[in-house]
Chains A and B, each alone.
Chain A
Amino acid sequence: MSADFLARLTLAHEVEQFLYEEARLLDTQDYQGWLALLTDDIHYWAPVVESREARHRAGHYIAATDESAYFDDTRATLGMRVARLGFPGAWAEVPPSRMSRLIANIQPGPETAEGIAVRSTFFLYRSRLEVEEDVYHGAREDVLRRVDGQLRLARRKIVFAQSVLTARSITTFL
């Protein structure tokens, strides 16, 4: 086994464990713990998606950075969202949802000075009250960066697999 291969295997394992730990924090709604995984300059972005002709961007259109988005957040606005969810009157999470998410197809690129580009897919199942259900599917493009030796999330682009979300609301992070 070459040293290079081992290094890539080690990095892939580190990235996977980072994303799994992140998923655990989100499922358990430990949002303060989640915020601690983000860099101060995070860009957390979920552009809207439209159906366009097949010749246009592989079958769907992903909105540009100056267009509409479900999330287009900085560390400051993510902090506001988390603070709000912490109050008893954040009704869309009263009582809290039960969430279970799968993170899969994790493909880290090489580690460079800019960080590690990582692709992954997500599936989130949300159950609320008695039998209310929402599902969220999609792909993510992340950039992870080391801060004091620890991996941190510096960029995330979330592309939902739906153009019209069938979920009533998004009260968590993806």
Chain B
Amino acid sequence: MAIEPWKWVDREHGLVDRRIFSDQEIYDAEMERIFRRTWLALGHESEIAQPNDFFTTWMGADPVIVTRSGDGIKVLLNMCRHRGGTVCRTDRGNAKLFLCPYHGWSYGSNGALKVVPGLETDYRHGIDPADWGLFEAPRVATYKGLIFASWNPDVEPLEEFLGDATFYLDCILDRVEGGTELVGGMRRWIIPTNWKHAAENFVGDSYHAAATHTSIMRVPGLEGAGGRVKKPFGYQAALQNGHGVGMWLADEEDARGGYGHLAGVDDYLQTIEDQLVTRLGELRGKRLTPVHATIFPNFSIEFPFASLHIWHPRGPLKTEVRDLTLVDRAMPPEIKEMLRRHCMLRQGPAGTWEQDDMDNWSQTTYSSLSPTGRGLLANYQMGMGHEHTRPDIPGRLDNKSSDINQRNMYTRWAELMAMEPPAPAQVAAACRPGKEAGQ
């Protein structure tokens, strides 16, 4: 099957062919053309605070180790360069050496090949360990604590990739002195859904809340946390590179709303309000609260306290979720604890919000297996023709209930899918000793 993304994404009419949610060949092309080309969010610097700390995760379908080596943060393909054994089998830890259990090749936390048993006695002709280090992502960068990497050496600088999304990300990443950290550990589970159904929900789908989360609205204490400002109005903002964010905005001066069940958080925000205004300005300090966002392709945020979701594709019909809780380093311990519980009760497989989302996403994925259903294109038409801008808020804007961000995301998806796949990773020329011998 030819990869014809513009046939599947009809941006002019806001229609999407459902086969992109279930087709194996399209999925395989995504892993090459999207996940091997763009920046991908991997985690947070606080997860690898000490030298030689590491955690393992995924870049698309590639297993990687994220380490803090003497040479800085490294993102290494978790594959022994010898026969492909897994050199790190654990989720997290501290290691100076990653040992392949198969033949004993060992690598430093910077990926350099340190030990080859029998290098002299058995190989005899000699191989140069410098040519056989763990394959590392050529581009690694952080944005205010968040770690990103890309397999693409020519990828644009991270801040350029994030673009105007930084205006919104800063509302959680840069609101107080001292930055952010993660609550320890993460919730991980597998949803039977295509990764895009999760990403598109967070990129711009405020519309679903009233139906999907109807049960929440009726239980005091389970409400969301979008209450920093009064809610007279909200926007979706479609951003470059497929990113999108939804927000509440109050135009009047005294816009403080309140968190109800999180009264302590209200008090905390009160104490940092001067800092907020100084660091973020009056608009973001007092009147604007981002609510949800996706950094395309697979990094989503539930603001403001903040639940980070990374959607790792596991085949067209499965997604592994990593659900992390972000807090300000400088928060009093009791506020961190309040927010840890807040996120626990809402997010994750047992989350009172999230479980109903996941149920819907698995249904929308399954329906895309229906041969008849596939021909009946998915409707992303809400708000078409109502895009506008305003000088103080970045992005192309529409009402909070709109598909503007989903159309923007699938347009970016099609742009990337229409490009030729990036060049495959290759061994160094010196890795072919026969050639060298012939020189």
Interface residues of A (CB under 8 A from B): 46-48, 50-53, 56, 61, 63-64, 66-73, 76-77, 80-81, 83-85, 87-92, 132, 163-171
Contact = CB atoms under 8 A, between A and B. Distances in A.
A80 to B, nearest CB: 5
B355 A170 contact: yes
Contacts, number: 136
Contacts of A80: 219-222, 345, 352
A89 B214 contact: yes
Contact of A89 (B187, B215, B324, B362): B215
Given A87-B218, A168-B192, A70 B184 contact: no
Nearest to B337: A66
14 contacts: A47-B185, A50-B91, A68-B187, A71-B344, A77-B221, A80-B352, A84-B222, A91-B356, A91-B360, A132-B362, A166-B190, A168-B192, A169-B189, A169-B359
Nearest to A46: B350
B94 to A, nearest CB: 9
Contacts of B221: 76-77, 80
B219 to A, nearest CB: 5
B183 interface: yes
Contacts of A70: 187, 344, 348-350
The 8 closest A-B pairs by CB, nearest first: A89-B214, A67-B184, A68-B185, A165-B189, A169-B355, A170-B350, A63-B185, A92-B355
A72 to B, nearest CB: 5
B93 interface: yes
B216 interface: yes
Residue with the greatest number of chain B CB neighbours at <10 A, chosen from A50, A63, A77: A50
Contacts of B359: 91-92, 168-169
B349 A68 contact: no
Given A51-B91, A80-B219, A92-B356, A68 B345 contact: no
Contacts of B190: 164-168
B397 interface: no
Interface in B357-372: 358-360, 362
B309 interface: no
B358 A92 contact: yes
A84 B349 contact: no
Interface string B284-311: 0000000000000000000000000000
Contacts of A91: 212, 215, 356, 359-360
A169 B184 contact: no
A36 B270 CA distance: 40
B334 to A, nearest CB: 11
Residue with the greatest number of chain A CB neighbours at <10 A, chosen from B184, B344, B349: B349
B325 interface: yes
Contacts of B218: 83-84, 87
Given A51-B89, A51-B91, A80-B352, A66 B340 contact: yes
B93 A170 contact: no
Given A51-B91, A165-B188, 5 more contacts: A69-B344, A73-B345, A91-B360, A163-B188, A165-B349
Nearest to A165: B189
A32 B33 CA distance: 51
Contacts of B183: 66-68
Given A52-B92, A68-B185, A77-B221, A87 B214 contact: yes
Given A70-B349, A76-B221, A84-B222, A53 B90 contact: yes
B44 to A, nearest CB: 13
A77 B184 contact: no
Nearest to B336: A66
Contacts of B91: 50-52, 61, 163
B75 interface: no
Nearest to A69: B344
Given A91-B359, A169-B355, A53 B344 contact: no
A172 to B, nearest CB: 9
Contacts of B212: 91
Contacts of B320: 164
Nearest to A67: B184
A166 B319 CA distance: 10
Contacts of B352: 80-81, 84
A83 B219 contact: yes
Interface in B166-197: 183-192
Nearest to A171: B355
A72 B187 CA distance: 13
A69 B214 CA distance: 25
B341 interface: yes
Contacts of A132: 192, 362
A169 to B, nearest CB: 4
B215 A84 contact: yes
B311 to A, nearest CB: 13
Nearest to B56: A51
Given A48-B187, A169-B349, A72 B341 contact: yes
Contacts of A85: 215
Residue with the greatest number of chain B CB neighbours at <10 A, chosen from A47, A61, A84: A84
A67 B341 CA distance: 10
A171 to B, nearest CB: 6
A70 B350 CA distance: 6
Contacts of B215: 84-85, 87-91
